[in-house]
Chain A
Amino acid sequence: MGAGHSHPLYRDGDSPLHRVPAEVKIVALLAFVLAVVATPREMFWPFAIYAGIVLVVWQVARIPLRWILPRMLIEAPFLVLAVLLPFAEGGERVAVAGLHLSVSGLWAAWGIVIKGTLGVAASLTVAATTSARQLPLALSRLGVPGLVTSMLVLMIRYIDVLSAEVSRMRMARISRGDSPRGLHQAGAIAKGVGALFLRSYERGERVYLAMLSRGFDGRVPELADVGAGPRASAAQWVTTLAPAGVAVFAAASAWVLQ
């Protein structure tokens, strides 16, 4: 019970960034990421500015480095791909510590690593200061259609229920002597996944019946406002968008100076 009490990516707190309504943070995140992605990778100084912005925002949000850095490992699989590029790419070669590396591959790898890292860092900052509960309201205030937000609502709610179900099934298997690492147990795990699919399907039907019973007719009523916090003030918009504004300015300057 009580699964998902605190999401691993959310850090409970009461910093100025926690208090800003989520819609403002989403817009700021989008602007920041677009600025990072649009920056030409041959310039280095804009990326230093972006990293500085992220560090300052972490200070304001009171997110310690040792809390957020391990969570950035989420990016690791993409970095593996980037590391392979200097070897795999063709074209002009350069010798680095006895290895012949492709120049265009190195540039591509640098671009992926720095842009990916900044994007992940910025996204984690928003995730750390915004609970999942605030997202549907934020998206509906940003004009996202009701159908999309209600799908998101259902997903957020039932991912917890399903993961609790998965862990119960896993415990029941282990209690009966299953060792999930053994290859010969792959069949049992596959059947477990099948059973989980059926259970989820049945749960989906029951949830739908319960919704029908409360008068659901395919249109989701606007409920995100019930018990919701106030809309963002002009001052909150301005201060929260400021770091993203600096990033956009840096990206634009980089293009001009190039």
Chain B
Amino acid sequence: MTAPAIRIEGLRYAYPDGQVALDGVDLTIAPGERVALLGPNGAGKTTLMLHLNGVLTATAGAVEISGTPLTRKTIRDIRRRVGLVFQDPDDQLFMPTVAQDVAFGPANFGVTGAELASRVHAALETVSMTEHADRSPAHLSGGQRRRAALATVLACEPEILVLDEPSANLDPVARRELAETLATLSATMLIVTHDLPYAAQLCDRAIVIDRGVVVADDAISAVLSDAELLAAHRLELPWGFVVPAR
């Protein structure tokens, strides 16, 4: 049996001021799975995401990526294998042009020359941004910026893609286009979101966390049909939305 893409055991994290953000999280995600990470504001979703590539270091517990435990020695390799797409594209895009921004990640991991150029080209093509390669991120629309931010991570060729609120602040068309792009990717995917229909569209499984612990972990249709569970954790389906049968 192959090692799980993500394995988290007893993960605890307290902020420097003592506030506990994660209070013993256990979860396992198999390679190729697309999982939604749901939960109300302040549940610890983003904190959990920042542990997956060692940007935050756990107070207790262990994180394993494809069988490799996250330690000081493996952190570089794990950052290459786990790609984080942040909620605000302005946090992710900082170079003068989109192409340079996309090249930043792979260049840090030692990719150079023709290989770097082809990585940049492929990543931009995947998100349909090739024509905007030499524009400044400041001149892009919200949807284009989001796709550019995704490309900066795809260029690192991660095995696991973690997206924080990918549909936030997008107009309906940009939201759909991003979903179509994401659906073509084969990487294991963890989507942190409040947008339940988006989760239903893209994911097969949902994990609900609240107050730093996992409170539900099941097929997405089962989680979204459980009105009591959703209500207990400040989640609800938008008006008129019916969970489609799978």
Contacts and interface: CB of A to CB of B under 8 A. Distances in A.
B134 interface: yes
Contact of A210 (B86, B109, B117, B141): B86
A209 B99 contact: no
Given A157-B96, A212-B55, A1 B142 contact: yes
B104 A221 contact: yes
**Contact residues of B: prevailing secondary structure:** helix
A218 to B, nearest CB: 10
Nearest to B120: A226
B136 interface: yes
Interface in A1-57: 1-5
A136 B50 CA distance: 31
A144 to B, nearest CB: 15
Interface string B128-144: 00000110111111100
A167 to B, nearest CB: 14
Contacts of A224: 100
Contacts of B138: 2-5, 157, 160-161
Interface residues of A, number: 33
Interface stretch (B76-84, B179-187, B190-198, B202-210): B76-84
Given A214-B108, A214-B156, A216-B108, A207 B91 contact: yes
A214 B95 contact: no
Given A4-B138, A161-B138, A210 B92 contact: yes
Given A132-B96, A207-B94, A210-B92, A215 B86 contact: no
Contacts of A227: 97, 99-100, 133-134
Contacts, number: 100
A57 to B, nearest CB: 25
Contacts of B153: 213-214
Interface in B134-160: 134, 136-142, 152-153, 156
B142 to A, nearest CB: 6
Contact of B97 (A133, A203, A210, A212): A133
Interface string A104-145: 000000000000000000000000000011001000000000
A213 B79 contact: yes
A211 interface: yes
Interface of B: 50, 53, 55, 76, 79-80, 83-84, 86, 88, 90-97, 99-100, 103-105, 107-109, 116-117, 120, 133-134, 136-142, 152-153, 156
Given A209-B86, A214-B79, A214-B83, 15 more contacts: A2-B140, A133-B97, A153-B95, A154-B94, A157-B93, A157-B95, A161-B138, A207-B94, A209-B91, A213-B84, A213-B153, A215-B76, A215-B108, A226-B97, A227-B97
* Nearest 9 pairs of A and B residues by beta carbon: A215-B108, A221-B107, A214-B105, A227-B99, A206-B91, A133-B96, A213-B84, A226-B103, A210-B92
